[in-house]
Amino acid sequence: MPTTSMSPRPVKIVSDDTAPPRRKMIGRAGPWQLVRLIAETNLARLYTARPAEADEALPASYMVKMLRKEWWRDEVAVELFRREVWVGSRVSHPHVVPVLSANVRQPPFYAAMPMLEGETLRQRLDRQWQPSLSEALWLVRQMAEGLSAIDRATGMVHGDVKPDNVMVAPTGHVTLIDLGFARRPGDDHGRLADSLMGSLAYIAPEVVTSAFATGISSDQYSLGIVMYELLSGRTPFTSNDPGELIALHRGQKPPCIRSLRPDLPKPVASLVHTLLAKDPIRRSLTYRELIERLVRLEIEMFVPARST
């Protein structure tokens, strides 16, 4: 049986050259035809799909995520999958991926979602893509709106905000994905507390100090790291040593973003560093306050440049 380490691994994209023909059904999950394997993670396989009763000539415009068989008996993996389904089925918002149907009671475990156009923010950043200032603010604001919707609908935090979990459509529309690490503030999830929630490059200091200290400000810290990266081209803290990276988040002041991007307006830099405050109380914005600040900054960035 696999170990219970939930550390993220790269998504394996399956080449179209080896994929089965589009019309050929390769399997079934409940009421869904599985048409083509499109990606794999360490926990799941992702397929294009269509309703089982649909004509095979119709495009496969849905995605089915199936927990890999080797994880069916692992309590942590199954709980993560159930968490994603529970949150995705209760949040109805344009910036959060919905779960349309699922089976989480017994194997095989699956969840059906709409097929999202575009690519992850991580894929964009890995190509050295850098958005304009107004575009970066727009992307962050959409992420904040999605996080706010999760909080309102479920009382949970996303728990793993990072570029890998942000889908960006060709139009720039943002959708938050991978909701398995969602948690209620102060909830250690039993055995899930044994697995470090989130990815270390984006994790809030209080999350690695105490599972019971997490809250919306923890997601906002991660959002601040993403914002820093969008605006400067790098994260504030980098290390190949997990222990050192945790120590940097807990005790090292992030480099001033204007030292990396001197043209950045002071109000934008101020918001970035507010989100990156070590003490959660110092970044305790409500989502309404955060979104309003982002909207104001978006509008200001469209007016002629002025002295900062």
104 with 127, same domain: the answer is no
Q: How far apart are CA 48 and CA 191, in angstroms?
A: 32
Q: How far apart are CA 153 and CA 159, in angstroms?
A: 15
> Which residues does residue 157 pair with via DSSP β-bridges, in sequence order?
183
Q: Does residue 196 form part of some domain?
A: yes
Provide the residue range defining the domain that includes 126.
119-300
pLDDT for residue 131: 94
123 with 143, same domain: the answer is yes
> Which residues does residue 28 pair with via DSSP β-bridges, in sequence order?
33
Instruction: Show which of 114, 142, 169 is a domain's final residue.
Output: 114
Q: Does residue 5 form part of some domain?
A: no
159 with 95, same domain: the answer is no
Q: Does residue 258 form part of some domain?
A: yes
157 with 97, same domain: the answer is no
Instruction: Show which of 69, 99, 114 is a domain's final residue.
Output: 114
Q: Does residue 223 form part of some domain?
A: yes
What tens-digit pLDDT sequence spans the chain (308 residues)? 443 344 444 444 443 444 444 445 688 999 999 999 998 988 899 999 999 999 888 889 999 999 999 999 999 899 989 999 999 999 999 999 999 999 999 999 999 999 999 999 999 999 999 999 999 999 999 999 999 999 999 999 999 999 999 999 999 999 999 998 898 876 654 444 445 555 899 999 988 776 556 789 999 999 999 999 999 999 999 999 989 999 999 999 999 999 999 999 999 999 999 999 999 989 879 999 999 999 999 999 875 544 44
pLDDT for residue 202: 95
106 with 181, same domain: the answer is no
DSSP string, the chain: ---------PPEEPPGGGSPPTTS--EEETTEEEEEEEEE-SSEEEEEEEETTS-TTS---EEEEEE-GGGTT-HHHHHHHHHHHHHHHH---TTBPPP-EEE-SSSSPEEEEEPPPSEEHHHHHHTT----HHHHHHHHHHHHHHHHHHHHHHS-B-S--SGGGEEE-TT--EEE---TT-B-TT---GGGGGS--S-GGG--HHHHH-GGG-SHHHHHHHHHHHHHHHHHSS-S---S-HHHHHHHHHHPPPPPHHHH-TTS-HHHHHHHHHHT-SSGGGG---HHHHHHHHHHHHHHTTSPP---
What global pTM score does this model have? 0.86
Q: Does residue 48 form part of some domain?
A: yes
pLDDT for residue 284: 78
Q: What is the CA radius of gyration of the chain?
A: 20
Q: Among the options 74, 160, 164, 219, which is catalytic?
A: 160
Instruction: Give how far Cα 169 sits from Cα of 1, 174, 222, 229, Å.
Output: 37, 7, 21, 19
189 with 295, same domain: the answer is yes
241 catalytic, yes or no? no
pLDDT for residue 214: 77
103 with 137, same domain: the answer is no
Nearest to 36 by CA among 118, 44, 45, 111: 45
Q: Does residue 179 form part of some domain?
A: yes
Looking at the structure of the chain, the number of domains it has is 2
68 with 107, same domain: the answer is yes
CATH of the domain at 43: 3.30.200.20
Q: Does residue 101 form part of some domain?
A: yes
pLDDT for residue 207: 85
Q: Does residue 4 form part of some domain?
A: no
Which residue bears the tokens 């380490």? 5
194 with 216, same domain: the answer is yes
Instruction: Show which of 96, 114, 132 is a domain's final residue.
Output: 114
pLDDT for residue 150: 97
Upper half-sphere CA count for residue 199 (Cβ side, 13 Å): 23
Sign of CA dihedral 271, 273, 278, 279: negative
150 with 84, same domain: the answer is no
108 with 123, same domain: the answer is no
134 with 268, same domain: the answer is yes
CATH of the domain at 127: 1.10.510.10
